[in-house]
Structures are given as C-alpha cells and as structure tokens.
Amino acid sequence: MKLFIFLIFTTCTLTLLPVLNGSSTISMKNNICQDGSKEIICLFFMEEMQLNTYKSILHSGHQITFLDAPVITLHPESAIRCEGTSVQLRVTATGQNIQYQWQKNGSDLPGATQNLLTLINLKFSHAGEYVCKVFNTDGTVYSNPAILEIVNPFIITVQPQSLTLQNGQTAYFSVTTSENVETYQWYKGVTPLNDGGNISGAQNQTLTVSNVSQVDQGKYFCKIIGPCNQEFSDDAFLSILSATNEVNHERHTWFPNPAKNKITFMDSDVNILSVSIYDIQGKEIYLKHDPQGNLLDISGLKPGFYTLFTITDHYISAQRLLIIR
C-alpha cells in the first residue's frame, strides 16, 4: 500500500517516502501553520481504487497517526424471543479507537456502548428495531437493523379431526395455533412422516394423504414447536371403508348384552380403531378412538337402548345394546 500526503491550510512542507508496508520517515520544514497552531490537516489516498479522508494531529516532536474509518464485519441478527427470556445482539467492526452506541427505534439506549448488547427478562416493550452506531474520529457507520420480536407461548386452537373414508379418497388433517410457530411434524403412530408417495405437507400445518387405502389407516398427530414451547395435537384416526368391510349389523362382538356397567370386546383377532355409542334418537353420546384394551366402561350411561358402532382394522359392526340397572 502506498501513501501520499497533501497538506491543506498550512505553509508547512512535509515529505513522506512511499512504502509498501511498515514505517516511513517523515521530514518537515517550516512546521508552523498559518494560524500559529501545530495541527496539520491531511488527505490520505490509498492506491486501491478507494479514497478516504483522514485526520491527523501532529504535536512537536511526535509522530503523525492515521486513523481508519470503522468497517462493520458482523451485523446483529434479528431474533424472536419469549417474554421473560434474554437475547444478545452483537456487532463486530475493524478500525482504531472505535466506539459503539446502540439505538432502539432510532433513539440512543443509555449505557449501551459496547459491541455486545444483552437484554434480560424480556418484556413486550423490548420489541423493536435495534441498530448499532459504530464510530471514531474519522467516520461513523451504522449496522443493519435487527428486529426483536417478543411472543407468547402458543396454544393449539383447532385440533385435527378423525376421518372415515373410502379407498381412493383424500384425507386432510390440520392444526391451527394462536401464535406463529417454527416447525410442524406429523406422525402416523410413532413414526414421523416425510413428503413422498401419497403423503404431502408432513412438515406443514395441513397434512394431506391422497388416494387412501387400508395401509393408511391408523392414528395421526402433529408435533408443533414454537419459540417458547412445543405441543402435541390430539390424535386423529383415519378409518378406511372398503368393499369388503361394509357395516355388519349381525356381528355381535360386545358382551354381555344386556349390560350394567362394563362390556367386553370378544374378537381378539382384530384391532379396534374407534367405538361410538348412539342413543335411541340417533345422537352420538360417546366416542373413543384407539381404546386401550377390550373393556368399555358404560357406567355413565342411563338405562335404555343404544347402538354401538365399532370400527376395526378388518370390519365395521353396528350392534344393538341394552343397558339395565
């Protein structure tokens, strides 16, 4: 790098031999300026297609010091945080005698004069645009703005619903949350799903299972992760009706009948996907998906006639049930 010095506002003469790097000897003649001071204002040129203005102060018997204007090498990053947590915003710059001043929404933050800004016990009032002013005697630069967003923990406001479809139809399972979230992951059983085949939206708000068949039957749910918390949706069950599993009105699989408080499912060769009970007026008064075991508690139902609707992985049955006390 070669240096060229030009004097302004002075009758002094200064000579500097150009060097590529290291130090250079400066000789001076008539080193008293017109106004009687001993300050010399210089222009500093770099032979790299770049021109900058620098200020140098000379005291008798001392050396001239050239100061680079600051250059930001790392800008602060935007962040989403939960109320009560903390955040750090960082800026990195090169140059001499650098000073820092953080600003929020255009106003200086008192005491925020380091390159690292730490905010603790965050509140919604901390949300806003943060910029760092980086400066020395030869220039001022500003960082890119970092947006700080403060959010609440989310809750699931709409749960996925169970479906009973025929072969070839399309199943849609959806969840809705109260706040923006970061990731969704749908599962079938305990296996995380990925897009491909007849599955799409496995990492989105809505899961689509197209052209369903018997292999798609089962339990589906969604794991949702936000900045503050993670939640699991309710289970949603997909039941597939095929030409071979029409409703069987003659198959009696629950005993005893009549019953008082409990009934038992007697077919051990199949898995129950769901059980629903309807009263004599056709109103659904009980629904249980993926019941554990083969015992059903009916002690909460009043005496009378009911219809017991059972979906298994092999057939569907509708059975008349009488409850007595």
Q: pLDDT by residue (tens digit) across 231-290?
A: 999 988 888 775 555 555 556 688 999 999 999 998 888 888 788 898 887 788 887 766
User: E-assigned strands of 242-323?
Assistant: 247-248, 254-255, 262-265, 272-278, 284-289, 295-297, 304-312, 316-323
The CATH code of the domain that includes 96 is 2.60.40.10
User: Which tokens hold the place of 184?
Assistant: 């969704």
User: What is residue 2's predicted lDDT score, i.e. its pLDDT?
Assistant: 36
Question: Does residue 63 lie within any of the structural domains?
Answer: no
Q: Is the pLDDT of residue 92 over 60?
A: yes
By DSSP bridging, strand 316-323 and strand 247-248 are parallel
Question: Does residue 60 lie within any of the structural domains?
Answer: no
Q: How far is CA 151 from CA 82, 90, 171, 258, 292, in A?
A: 5, 21, 32, 55, 38
Question: Does residue 208 lie within any of the structural domains?
Answer: yes
**Predicted confidence (pLDDT) per residue in 102-142, tens digit:** 999 999 999 999 999 999 999 999 999 999 999 998 899 99
- Give how many domains the chain has, as a whole number: 4
Q: Is the pLDDT of residue 23 over 80?
A: no
pTM for this predicted structure: 0.52
What type of residue is 39?
E
Q: How far is CA 27 from CA 2, 12, 13, 14, 298, in A?
A: 17, 11, 8, 6, 105
102 and 178, same domain (yes or no): no
Lowest mean pLDDT among 44-53, 123-132, 191-200, 231-240: 44-53
Question: Does residue 24 lie within any of the structural domains?
Answer: yes
The residue range of the domain holding 278 is 247-323
209 and 189, same domain (yes or no): yes
What DSSP assignment string belongs to 124-181?
A: GGG-EEEEEEEEETTEEEEPPPEEEEEEPPP-EEE----EEEETT--EEEE-EESS--
Question: Does residue 62 lie within any of the structural domains?
Answer: no
Q: Give the end of a domain, one of 191, 221, 241.
A: 241
Lowest mean pLDDT among 6-10, 25-29, 79-83, 121-125: 6-10
Assign 214 to helix, strand or coil: helix
Rounded CA-CA distance 321/323 in Å is: 7
Assign 40 to helix, strand or coil: coil
Question: Does residue 206 lie within any of the structural domains?
Answer: yes
Pairwise pLDDT comparison (292 vs 230), residue with the higher score: 230
Nearest to 12 by CA among 50, 44, 38, 46: 38
102 and 130, same domain (yes or no): yes
Q: Is the pLDDT of residue 66 over 80?
A: no
Q: Give the end of a domain, one of 151, 175, 198.
A: 151
Residue linked to tokens 């001076």? 28
Q: Give the end of a domain, one of 151, 175, 191.
A: 151
* Confidence band of 35 (pLDDT split at 50, 70, 90): very low
* Confidence band of 62 (pLDDT split at 50, 70, 90): very low
Residue 291 belongs to what H/E stretch? none
190 and 138, same domain (yes or no): no
User: What is residue 56's predicted lDDT score, i.e. its pLDDT?
Assistant: 41
194 and 179, same domain (yes or no): yes
Question: Does residue 188 lie within any of the structural domains?
Answer: yes
Q: Is the pLDDT of residue 12 over 50?
A: no
The CATH code of the domain that includes 256 is 2.60.40.3080
Put the strands of the sheet holding 41-46 in their side by side order.
Answer: 3-8, 41-46, 50-52
Question: Does residue 270 lie within any of the structural domains?
Answer: yes
225 and 263, same domain (yes or no): no
